[in-house]
C-alpha cells in the first residue's frame, strides 16, 4: 500500500490530504505537525490515517513525502531528509510559495539519487491552519511543477496521486516560477499589508477610522490577513526578485503621483483605463466549485445546547449555513462557536438575528 507522509497539516497540507483521500481511499496517509492541537484535530477528524510528530521516522517508511510547512521549514526538512535513509523510490515534493531556494536545498538529496519534484498550488486562502482545509481548495487552479531531472514516470505518479485536487498542471523552472509569483502573489501581499498598516497609522487617533472602510478597501486588503510566519519565510526566500518588483511598483506610484500633482488629466485617465481593461479580462475571483467562506464567531455559554439553538434560529429565518463547530471547549467557561456561510450577506443577516437573541458576536471574517 502506498504510504504518503504530509509534513505540516495546515491549510495546504490538510487540503491535499482531503483531496488525496477522496481520489485514493486505499492510500495510507500519515500526517506530521509540530503543533499538538493540529495533530489532535487531524486525529479527531480522521484527516489522515496516522498522526505523528516524528518527521524522520515517518519519512523513512514513506513512498511519497509532501513538505507543507512554511518555506523555511521546507528547506530545513530537505536538509534533514538528506541525512536519513529513505526508500530508494521515494518521491519528495513540496508546496512552498518559492522554488529557487527550495530546489537549492534539495540538491544534496538529489545528489543521493532521490527524486525531488518542486510543487506549488496557486490556490489558497488568507486563512491558515488545519480547520480551513478543504478537499476542493485547489479546484481549477494552476499547480506549478518543477520536475528538474525527475523521471517522467515519477511526475506522472505524483500527478496521479494528486488527481483529486482537479488542478491544471504547469511545468516551470525555479527562476520562471519565482519571477511569476514575485509579481502576481508576493508583491500584492506586501502592498495589501502596507496599505492596512499605513491606514491604521493614519487613523490611530480617530475613534471611527478604519471601521468606516468600505468594500473596496476590504477587497484589496483581504490577503493582509494571511499568516505572518508563512509570509516572512516567503519574503526571505524570494528577496531579490521581490525587491525588484517593489521598486517597479514604487516607480509606478511615483508616476501617478506626478500626474496628479501636474493635474495631467489624460495621464490620470489613461492610468485607470489601462487598469480597467486588464482587470475586466481577468475572470472570476473564485475558480473552484464552492465560494469562499464567510465566518461568524460567537461566544456561547453552553456549547451543546447553543449549537442546537443557533441552528434552529438560522433554519427558522431560512439562513443556510455551510458548517458549524466549537472552537474552544473548556469546562465552566464560555466557548466560541464558528458558524460558516456561503456569502457575506447571509452571514451579516445571521449576525443581526443572533445579536437580537443576545448572542455576543466576537468576530466576523
Ligand atoms: N496559504 C496559502 O494560500 C498557500 C500556501 N502555500 C505554501 O504552503 C505552505 C503551507 O502553508 P499553509 O498551509 O497555508 O500554512 P499553515 O500555517 O496553514 O500551515 C502550516 C503548518 O505547518 C506546521 N509546521 C510549522 N513548522 C513545522 C515543522 N517544523 N514541522 C512540521 N510542521 C510544521 C504548522 O503547525 C501548520 O500546521 C507554505 O510553504 C506556503 O508558502 C502554497 C500555496 C497557497
Ligand atoms: O488568498 C489568496 O488569494 C492567495 O493569494 C493565496 C495564496 C497564497 C500563497 C500562495 O503561494 C499562493 C496562493
Instruction: List the CATH number of the domain containing 300.
Output: 3.30.2130.10
Distance 113 CA to ligand 1 centre (A): 27
Residue 43 lies in a domain: yes
Which of 112, 146, 173 is the last residue before a domain boundary?
173
Question: How far apart, in whole angstroms, are the C-alpha atoms of residue 58 and residue 6?
Answer: 9
> Residue 357 is part of which domain span?
294-364
Any ligand 2 atom below 6 A from CB of 97 = yes
Return the pLDDT at 44.
98
Where is the domain boundary, 110, 138, 173? 173
All residues at 6 or more sequence positions from 365 whose CB lies less than 8 Å from its CB, including other chains: 225, 294, 295
What angle is formed at CA 276 by the lines to CA 270 and CA 280, rounded to 5 degrees? 155
Residues contacting residue 350 through CB under 8 Å, at least 6 positions apart: 296, 314, 317, 319, 321, 339, 341
The ipTM, to two decimals, is 0.99
| Cα of 187 from ligand 2 centre, angstroms | 11
Pick the closest to residue 292 from 236, 217, 232, 344 (CA basis).
Answer: 344
Digit-coded pLDDT (tens) for 102-160: 999 999 999 999 999 999 999 999 999 999 999 999 999 999 999 999 999 999 999 99
Mean pLDDT of the chain: 92
Output the domain CATH number for residue 75.
3.40.50.720
Taking the C-alpha atoms of residue 336 and residue 351, their distance in angstroms, rounded to an integer, is: 14
> Given this model, what pLDDT does residue 261 score?
98
Question: Whole-prediction pTM value?
Answer: 0.81
- In-domain check, residue 55: yes
pLDDT at 293: 67
Q: Strand pairing of 294-300 and 335-341?
A: antiparallel
Q: Is 174 a pocket residue for ligand 1 (Cβ < 6 Å)?
A: no
Residue 294 three-state SS: strand
Which H, E and C letters describe 182-217, residue by residue?
Answer: HHHHHHHHHHHHHHHHHHHHHCCCCCCHHHHCCHHH
* Ligand 1 contact via 7 beta carbon (within 6 Å): yes
The predicted structure's pLDDT at residue 342: 80
How many Å from the N-terminal Cα to the C-terminal Cα in the chain?
41
At 289, phi and psi to the nearest 5?
-80, -20
What is the reported pLDDT for 308?
85
CA distance 29 to 21: 8
Domain final residue pick, 173, 207, 238: 173
Residues 6+ apart with CB under 8 A from 161: 2, 4, 20, 24, 27, 64
* Residue of 141, 291, 350, 109 whose CA lies nearest to 359: 350
Q: Is residue 271 part of a domain?
A: no
Integer angstrom CA distances of residue 184 from 73, 201, 251: 23, 27, 17
| Residues 65 and 157 placed together within one structural domain of the fold | yes
In a domain, 288, yes or no: no
Asked if residue 307 lies in contact with residue 315, where contact means CB atoms within 8 angstroms, the answer is no
Question: Per the domain annotation, does 155 fall within a domain?
Answer: yes
Ligand nearest to the CA of 11: 1
| Cβ of residue 182 lying under 6 Å from some atom of ligand 1 | no
Is 105 a member of any domain? yes
Which single residue is written with the C-alpha cell 475572470?
A: 283
- Total of domains in the chain: 3
Q: How far is the CA of 229 from the centre of ligand 1 (A)?
A: 9
- Where b means 16+ CB within 10 Å and e means fewer, 51-78 reads beeebeebbbebbbbbbbbbbbbbbebb
Dist CA 132 CA 283 (whole Å): 24
pLDDT of res. 329: 43
Same domain for 191 and 159: no
Q: How many CB atoms lie under 10 A from the CB of residue 193?
A: 17
C-alpha grid cell, residue 211: 471601521
Together in a domain, 9 and 93: yes
C-alpha cell of residue 107: 540538491
Are 33 and 56 part of one and the same domain? yes
Residue 356 covered by a domain: yes
Helix (H, G, I), strand (E, B) or coil at 262: coil
Taking the chain (365 residues) in runs of 10, the rounded mean pLDDT of each run is 97 98 97 98 98 98 98 98 98 98 98 98 94 96 95 97 96 97 98 97 89 88 96 98 98 98 98 96 60 75 78 92 65 69 86 91 81
Asked if 200 and 249 sit in the same domain, the reply is: yes
Q: Which three cell numbers stand for residue 289?
A: 466549485
Note whether residue 101 is domain-resident. Answer: yes
DSSP E strands, 290-334: 294-300, 323-326
100 and 229 belong to one structural domain: no
Query: What is the Å distance from ligand 1's center to 288 Cα?
Result: 21
Amino acid at each position: 500500500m502506498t504510504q504518503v507522509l504530509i509534513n505540516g497539516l495546515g491549510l495546504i497540507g490538510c487540503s491535499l490530504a482531503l483531496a488525496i483521500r477522496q481520489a485514493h481511499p486505499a492510500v495510507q496517509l500519515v500526517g506530521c505537525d509540530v503543533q499538538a492541537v493540529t495533530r489532535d484535530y487531524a486525529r479527531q477528524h480522521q484527516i489522515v490515517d496516522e498522526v505523528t510528530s516524528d518527521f524522520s521516522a515517518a519519512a523513512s517508511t514513506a513512498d511519497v513525502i509532501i513538505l507543507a510547512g512554511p518555506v523555511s521549514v521546507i528547506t530545513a526538512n530537505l536538509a534533514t531528509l538528506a541525512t536519513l535513509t529513505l526508500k530508494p523510490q521515494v518521491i519528495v515534493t513540496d508546496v512552498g510559495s518559492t522554488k529557487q531556494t527550495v530546489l537549492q536545498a534539495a540538491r544534496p538529496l538529489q545528489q543521493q539519487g532521490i527524486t525531488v519534484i518542486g510543487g506549488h498550488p496557486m490556490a489558497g486562502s488568507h486563512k491558515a491552519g488545519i480547520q480551513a482545509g478543504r478537499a476542493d481548495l485547489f479546484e481549477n487552479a494552476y499547480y506549478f511543477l518543477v520536475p528538474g531531472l525527475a523521471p517522467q514516470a515519477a511526475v506522472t505518479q505524483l500527478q496521479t496521486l494528486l488527481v483529486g485536487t482537479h488542478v491544471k498542471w504547469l511545468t516551470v523552472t525555479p527562476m520562471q516560477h519565482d519571477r511569476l509569483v514575485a509579481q502576481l502573489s508576493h508583491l500584492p501581499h506586501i502592498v495589501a499589508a502596507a496599505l492596512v498598516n499605513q491606514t491604521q497609522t493614519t487613523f490611530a487617533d480617530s475613534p471611527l477610522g478604519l471601521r468606516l472602510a468600505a468594500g473596496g478597501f476590504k477587497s484589496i486588503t483581504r490577503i493582509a490577513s494571511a499568516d505572518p510566519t508563512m509570509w516572512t519565510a516567503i519574503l526571505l526566500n524570494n528577496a531579490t526578485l521581490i525587491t525588484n518588483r517593489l521598486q517597479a511598483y514604487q516607480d509606478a506610484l511615483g508616476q501617478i503621483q506626478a500626474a496628479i500633482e501636474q493635474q495631467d488629466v489624460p495621464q490620470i485617465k489613461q492610468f485607470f483605463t489601462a487598469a480597467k481593461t486588464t482587470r475586466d479580462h481577468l475572470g472570476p475571483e473564485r475558480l473552484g466549485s464552492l465560494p469562499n467562506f464567510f465566518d461568524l464567531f460567537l461566544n456561547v455559554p453552553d456549547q451543546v445546547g447553543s449549537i442546537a439553538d443557533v441552528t434552529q434560529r438560522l433554519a427558522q429565518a431560512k439562513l443556510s449555513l455551510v458548517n458549524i463547530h466549537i472552537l474552544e471547549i473548556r469546562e465552566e467557561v464560555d466557548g466560541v462557536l464558528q458558524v460558516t456561510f456561503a456569502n457575506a450577506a447571509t452571514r451579516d443577516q445571521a449576525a443581526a438575528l443572533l445579536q437580537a437573541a443576545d448572542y455576543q458576536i466576537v468576530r466576523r471574517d
